[in-house]
Amino acid sequence: MPKLGALEIILILVIILIVFGVGKLPQVGGAIGKSIREFHKARDGEDEKGKDVAKSTEKETKETKSS
């Protein structure tokens, strides 16, 4: 994978600015940030469904061990 230098990064940012415009740039940045956070949570297994399942499984395990 080729390394990106400062000139390439500036060129990419200018193209993004032209395509989306100044008004939409904060919305695009927020959407990208939210997507990345959700990806990391899903990758680490920290979604809400996973927490509920983990809690119920842990509770059942403790009940089984105490019996």
* Backbone region of residue 5 per phi and psi (left: phi > 0; alpha: psi in -120 to 50; beta: other values): beta
Residue holding tokens 């600015």?
17
Number of domains in the chain: 1
Position 3 scores a pLDDT of: 85
What per-residue confidence (pLDDT) applies to 54?
Answer: 60
State the first-to-last Cα distance of the chain, in angstroms, to the nearest integer: 56
Say whether pTM exceeds 0.85. Answer: no
Q: Which domain holds residue 30?
A: 26-52
Q: How many CA atoms lie within 13 A of 16 on its CB side?
A: 13
Tokens of 14: 């200018």
Regions in the chain scoring below 70 on pLDDT: 1, 46-67
**Spatial distance between the Cα atoms of 7 and 64, rounded to a whole number of angstroms:** 61
Residue 37 maps to a domain: yes
CB-CB contact of 20 with 28 (8 Å): yes
pLDDT at position 34 is 95
Report the pLDDT value the prediction gives residue 66, as an integer from 0 to 100. 58
**pLDDT value for 20:** 86
